[in-house]
Structure 1
């Protein structure tokens, strides 16, 4: 996953925390281990699977600093 997530609309399709399943929002910030959505919710990348632009992505593959991930 080499693209920027900030500004993208995501949906949580699987999560360790069942309460997170179905959450949708726009990513407004990304750190090494977290995604922050426009409603203020913070999601731990490693614990979620998201759908973005029709693609399902396991959060384990996006753990790390965004600037380093884009360079890979």
Structure 2
């Protein structure tokens, strides 16, 4: 995914953390390995490569976006 994720709606559809599955919110920050997602007024941290996300109706493996945002956008 070659676009900025901050501000995007995201849903966790698969995760090693079973408590995260099905949660949805807005990405508020991104690092190489983590997404910070605001859900119901609370911010949670999600490890990218341990999840599969739905973003803009597309299924995205966290392993495919586990890069620094600036590196992912360039490629």
TM-score band, normalised by the shorter chain? over 0.9
Deviations 1:12-62 (A, max 9, x none): 000111111011110000000000012210000000000011000000000
- 1:12 — aligned with what? 12
**CA RMSD of the aligned region, Å?**
0.6
- Counterparts of 1:28 and 1:17 in 2: how far apart (Å)? 20
Moved over 4 A (4+): none
Q: 1:58 aligns with which of 39, 45, 61?
A: 61
Give yes or no for the alignment of 1:29 onto 2:29: yes
- Counterparts of 2:44 and 2:18 in 1: how far apart (Å)? 15
More strand by share: 2
Aligned to 1:40, the other structure's residue is in SS state strand
Q: How many residues align structurally?
A: 72
- The runs of 5 or more residues in structure 1 that have no matched partner are none
